[in-house]
Chains A and B, each alone.
Chain A
Amino acid sequence: MRRFSLSSLLSESLKGHRGWGRQWRDPQPKPAYDVVVVGGGGHGLATAYYLATVHGITNVAVLEKGWIGGGNTGRNTTIIRSNYLYDESAALYEHALKLWEGLSQELNYNVMFSQRGVLMLAHNLHDVQSFKRHIYANRLNGIDNEWLTKEQCREFCPPLDIGESLRYPVLGGALQRRAGTARHDAVAWGYARGADARGVDIIQNCAVTGIRRDASGAATGVETTRGFIRAGRIGVVAAGHTSTVMAMADVRMPLESYPLQALVSEPIKPVFPCVVMSNAVHAYISQSDKGELVIGAGTDQYTSYSQQGGLHITTHTLDAICELFPQFTRMRMLRSWGGIVDVTPDRSPIIGKTPVENLFVNCGWGTGGFKATPGSGHVFAHTLATGTPHPINAPFTLDRFRTGRLIDEAAAAAVAH
């Protein structure tokens, strides 16, 4: 792997950049791998990367039916935070956040992790109570999160309207300063490059069409559009398509796949210094390095694999944005799009074993999976390598829906993302 640095960039600039090689190979699939990861999004690529770097397992293939990073990795609003309420979630997302903090250096790929702070706005007394519950829980878990008065909110985010004419005036907010955003594509590419350099085969345009099982019921490999591939273990990391892939092994999942929309404005000079989320009015906004306002909308109410939702979802979100930031009505929506998010009944992920031997799953991230990418890959790699969950993903079993040991952040606080 050619190291990226200022000096390599400068030396290449004198040579017309002829010396840069491929960031990852385009290999033919081998007949067999120790581990096959189904899904070349950020989570799948991170899984492969940590299998190689942490566990020394390099005979690994990542199978992607389209192009890597083309699903939710490349379609989300890149919000990264760890100020979750429950111990289980806090541990998982904080694990990820700590990895984010060194990820550019770890991967030698600038993922532009920007710790600009995520400010969550409270609009009613219930929000205030809920946010304080989070803040105190985070404090005792060693996670930064602090209460801001509405004046402090405005100071932290000057475009914010804290006036009383709002339908739901801002009462204050919870700020996690270490939280922020990253460049989503770079995360997929950086993990792909790092995994590839260690021998992982990243195979694009390769759709899984079946999961082969032996007489005992154990999974032995995957049928693909490029032939059968034998696998010691299979990790399904297929986000919105998890139900479909798992059905190939006759495993029925507690999942539903919904369209989730997002949009960006035209690029403008820096005007928005942080991330602002408001669950009460459904608004999520930040400004990207390219200058676009990046705005997350909600899910449609029906399941769909179309990557397209209704206009009313978008307009509802913009209603909230313009309510909070009235000077943005003259900004223009440049591009809107949809992803397919797989949602579990408690809106927390499932990471671990399945009833089928050798078949593992990492899914159910709903609307908030991007922030977990490094942590998710790290603990799932552990699970695939050792056959047992890492302590951090141990609570996120499929079995919890039987026992009732749900991890329902949203029910606890009406907090999505």
Chain B
Amino acid sequence: MAQPFRLSRGGRIDRTRPVRFTFNGRTVEGVHGDSVASALLANGIHLVGRSFKYHRPRGILSHGSDEPSALLSVDRGPGRIDPNNRASVVEARDGLKTLSQNHWPSLEHDIGAINDLLSPVFVAGFYYKTFMWPKKFWDRVYEPVIRAAAGLGKAPAAPDPDRYANRHAHCEVLVVGAGPAGLAAALAAARTGKRVILADEGPEPGGALLHETSAEIDGRPAAEWLDGALAELDSRENVILLPRTTAFGYYNHNHVALAERITDHLPNPGTAPRERLWQVRAGEVVLATGSHERPLVFSDNDRPGILLAESVRVFLNRYGVAPGRRIVFATSGASAYTAALDAKGAGLAVSLVDLRAEDECGPELVELRAAGIEVLTGHTVIGAKGGKRVTGLVVAPADRAGRCGAHRLLPCDCVGMSGGWTPAVHLFSQSRGKLGYEATIDAFVPGTSAQAERSAGAAKGTYDLAACLAEGDAAGAAASGSAERRRFTASPTLTGFRPVRAMPTDADPAKVRAFVDFQNDVTAKDIGLAVREGFRSIEHVKRYTTTGMATDQGKTSNMNALGIVAGKLDTTLPSVGTTTFRPPYTPVTFGTLVGPARHALFDPIRTTPIHDWAESHGATFENVALWRRAWYFPKAGETLHDAVARECKAVREGVGIFDASTLGKIEVVGPDAAEFMNRLYINPWLKLEVGRCRYGLMLKEDGYILDDGVVARVAPDCFHVTTTTGGAARVLAHMEDYLQTEWPDLRVFLTSTTEQWAVIALQGPKARAVIAPLVGGIDLSPEAFPHMAMRSGTICGVPTRLFRVSFTGELGFEINVPSDHALAVWEAVHAAGEPYGITPYGTETMHVLRAEKGYIIVGQETDGTVTPDDVGLSGMIAKAKKDFVGKRSLVRPDVVAAGRKQLVGLVTDNPKLVLEEGAQIVDDPGQPIPMRMLGHVTSSYWSPNCGRSIAMALVADGRALQGGSLHVTTPEGFARVTVVDPVFFDPKGKRIHA
């Protein structure tokens, strides 16, 4: 295509490097340096989308990230489709596919446009008033229709093949925005040698200087000054300049988040990440975020071809594109005059309509007329003509009271409108700085800072170029502790405007459709309706009408909405208030925020030294806390049930080997170690002999069980504490908290040794025989090394703390060895056990074997509401101890009251039926709903050694119900059970002492 609207010269584009992309399947040709918006305009394409609610034709309003209307889906290949991209932000490149949104069957002919005819019904909040009858229609008819109509683009359907990166950075000075103020700030800071990060959302730093073709700075063309500034920043090692990087969130204590877009603009991204999250902790922040132009609110101000005035100027000067050949500028201020002059200079037919009276205007008026441009002062815009493209503007003289004179039609194919300027105070507001209303520029501007931060330039309401430069320089110098200030000379900037809320009109109000929020289709009338219905806080108006809640978050609409509300309430802007600015400044992909934190990197995976052996021996794994634990070791063709039955039998009849390395381990050392243990556990510790073990139970201060585990006294001043797998960190933190803050006088040191000791559990009648040849320095005989003893010695020549303990009820050892040697020891023990049929087993078998013995698992039998007495362990409480953590709570009224749930065993009438864990228990299954529940099943298994199913449960007053019948829920109904003692196997406990 010939790009009929491309100017023959000018702009920061490279006409020798064409790019081709598609828009709705049609090939569009642009040039290097184009945005998708500028390339579309170069080809005369203005209709680029349909609006959210009324499906009105919409075009390109802006050149920047404030664009509310021109939203496109962008297709970068399989899995790389994403919706709602602003055409003004997407850089044109070869091979890009872009699609307009929210229409059917096509952009040109959209059935949804019927909504526009029904717009008198679809006013603000209409949905709160209807769709209530008949009631059942809501789910089936109304809501699906509403939902189908809502939303803009389509969500990506396939997983995203791109990757995302994350980086933390520190600097003394972070400058946000590389326009004149930001560049001056960065230069001033950089010259002090401080570390500076300068971030700008655009592909090219420079901000307004990129389209400043007539202004001069320090006697040089602005573009030359810009080149010089960038060259200097680039040459300094202490400066990181980040283009395409949006500072989107300003958090506590100068934590600022930036989103850098790395590859979307590249035809061949290679292996680089698509985007990167920068989390910057800055000593000082300079916000030079610029300002946004306000649209004018008049009838049909949303027609394609109607742009912001400054955006017209940007397309002309920066992209070398004429958005039309016959342009009418409509304004209430001076800045549009500059745009009009530039348009005239580009050879276009230009006229200008100014709401301000002749005497309100400044020198710009004379200048424009001198250039031969027709200027109608004291004129309002009654409305726009045209449908899918503006064809003319109806204007009329209007006095200050809003009375309109004779209409006149100004034919045109483009309108540049300007209702003044709004400083971009978003980040300042996010930093919790207090905004103040500045009447002279009709804007909220940064007031008192809450953090180490300064605003400069247009973000602060300073629009004159020389003043912006000076303010930026001062901010950058102050932020880096320098007293030096520079002076700048620059061409004067045309500033000043008359605040206008909705343009005066004499049209029938019923026929006026003057848009305030272009994307959400909110009109001035909608805002009036909300106020009439009693919504007076701007937050209420926003929520009721949805103004400012679209993807642009109201960058172009908020001040107009606020002004209209203030007008309706006959009050001032500050008394209506401003809505709170929330992160992000512009939308940020989830991918940027997530970075690489997926799958294996979502959470660390902890594995034991024996993990690879288990994997190579066919283990199936389960996730327990962060650990991967071997769940069971199926042989070919075995199910979980088969494998567990085999493993269970093997342990009780021969010997099994189990990786218990995930157990938490804490070394408690010091002269007061026993006293410390005494205060933390319910058990007594002072008299525990060296070389002996004790099962310890620990409570939270509220009296509920926190954790359990075997503890060995290694020396008078040293305890080897074990914890549950999931509880290790929690228990250590709990111990440290009490030690440091409650009992700092105790001489105790705590060290986590979970990673240092691997634990190999060897369980079964043959266990002693297996390790006997491998152990050195320890007498393994039952007399010398009884159950619940611990000895230090060697195994396979490796130092070990050998525990004679059992979580299975069998003769058992837990071999603690340094992790580096664990695999070798494991393999040696396994080899030594082969003559005895040694069987590796996993956590499932461990669970079954301990349930056969009625041993509890914290987190399964207990749930954070269970006391020692509830699980039948109150006998472990050291009676002589005056106090321990949690003791006082055990005598609270409800904790000693009757009816608490107690641990019992359950056997089903049908021995083959395995109850579901979590199943509820009742005494009478025939009672009406809601039923009185007595408790629930905490553990339930097929017990190969008992030859039947077994279960443990917490049941109200359960210990008194021994021998009685209860009923347990099953998927089909109820099963009858008998309450029994929870020890199902070897109740006398003989085997453990073998």
Interface residues of A (CB under 8 A from B): 4-6, 8-10, 13-14, 16-18, 20-26, 66-68, 70, 74, 87, 91, 102, 104-105, 108-110, 112-115, 123-126, 128-137, 139-142, 161, 165-168, 183, 185-186, 189-190, 204, 265-271, 281, 287, 289-291, 306, 308, 310-311, 314-315, 318-323, 326-337, 345, 400, 402-406, 408, 410-413
Contact = CB atoms under 8 A, between A and B. Distances in A.
26 contacts: A4-B129, A9-B126, A23-B533, A26-B536, A66-B537, A67-B539, A110-B128, A112-B143, A115-B139, A136-B969, A140-B931, A266-B84, A268-B84, A281-B602, A289-B150, A290-B151, A308-B432, A329-B164, A330-B80, A330-B162, A331-B590, A332-B588, A334-B553, A336-B582, A410-B864, A411-B704
Interface residues of B, number: 112
A64 B496 CA distance: 40
Interface string B743-784: 000000000000000000000000000000000000000000
A177 to B, nearest CB: 11
Contacts, number: 322
Nearest to B123: A17
Contact of B533 (A5, A20, A167, A183): A20
B160 A326 contact: yes
Nearest to A141: B930
A34 B123 CA distance: 38
Nearest to A124: B623
| 6 shortest interchain CB distances as A-B pairs | A411-B864, A291-B151, A132-B918, A133-B918, A22-B534, A332-B587
Nearest to B550: A267
Given A136-B969, A404-B889, A20 B920 contact: no
A140 B969 contact: yes
Interface string B941-971: 0000000000000000000000000000100
Interface string B821-840: 00000000000000000000
Interface stretch (B1-9, B17-25, B251-259, B309-317): B251-259
A167 B594 CA distance: 15
A140 B920 contact: yes
Interface string B248-270: 01011001010000000000000
A132 B155 contact: no
Interface of B: 52, 79-84, 120-121, 123, 126-133, 135, 138-139, 143, 146-148, 150-160, 162, 164, 249, 251-252, 255, 257, 277, 279, 432, 509-510, 525, 529, 532-537, 539-540, 543-544, 546, 549-551, 553, 580, 582-584, 587-591, 593-595, 597-600, 602-603, 605, 622-624, 702-704, 859-860, 863-865, 889, 892-895, 916-920, 922, 929-931, 933, 936, 969
B704 to A, nearest CB: 7
Given A108-B132, A406-B865, A333 B584 contact: yes
A131 B920 CA distance: 12
Contacts of A330: 80-82, 156, 160, 162, 589-591
Contact of A311 (B80, B132, B255, B893): B255
Given A17-B525, A110-B127, 9 more contacts: A4-B129, A129-B918, A136-B969, A141-B931, A167-B605, A331-B156, A337-B582, A403-B894, A404-B893
Contacts of A318: 590, 593-594
A252 B510 CA distance: 57
Contacts of B969: 136, 139-140
Contacts of B277: 315
Given A124-B622, A329-B160, A330-B82, A6 B894 contact: no
B532 A22 contact: yes
Most buried by A among B123, B553, B920: B920
B127 to A, nearest CB: 6
Contacts of A23: 533-535
Given A26-B534, A412-B865, A131 B590 contact: no
Contacts of A141: 929-931
A224 B933 CA distance: 48
Q: Majority SS of interface residues in chain B?
A: loop
A287 to B, nearest CB: 8
A113 B510 CA distance: 33
B623 A289 contact: no
A185 B152 contact: no
Contact of A125 (B156, B537, B622): B622
Contacts of A412: 863-865
Contacts of A68: 540
A14 B162 CA distance: 52
Contacts of A408: 864-865
Nearest to B587: A332
B147 A270 contact: yes
Contact of A129 (B143, B589, B605, B860): B860
B894 A404 contact: yes
A319 B84 CA distance: 22
B160 A327 contact: yes
A408 B584 CA distance: 36
Contact of A114 (B143, B584, B600, B936): B143
A328 B590 contact: yes
Contact of A140 (B133, B151, B929): B929
Contact of B153 (A125, A189, A268): A268
A139 to B, nearest CB: 7
Nearest to A336: B583
Contact of B155 (A110, A168, A271): A271
B684 to A, nearest CB: 25
B141 to A, nearest CB: 13
Nearest to B83: A268
A30 B619 CA distance: 74
A315 B593 contact: yes
B582 A327 contact: no
A132 B919 contact: yes
Contact of A322 (B153, B598, B917): B598
B114 to A, nearest CB: 15
Nearest to A190: B128
A18 B531 CA distance: 12
> Which of B533, B546, B550, B553 has the largest number of chain A CB atoms within 10 A?
B533
Contacts of A291: 147, 150-152
Given A132-B917, A404-B892, A314 B593 contact: yes
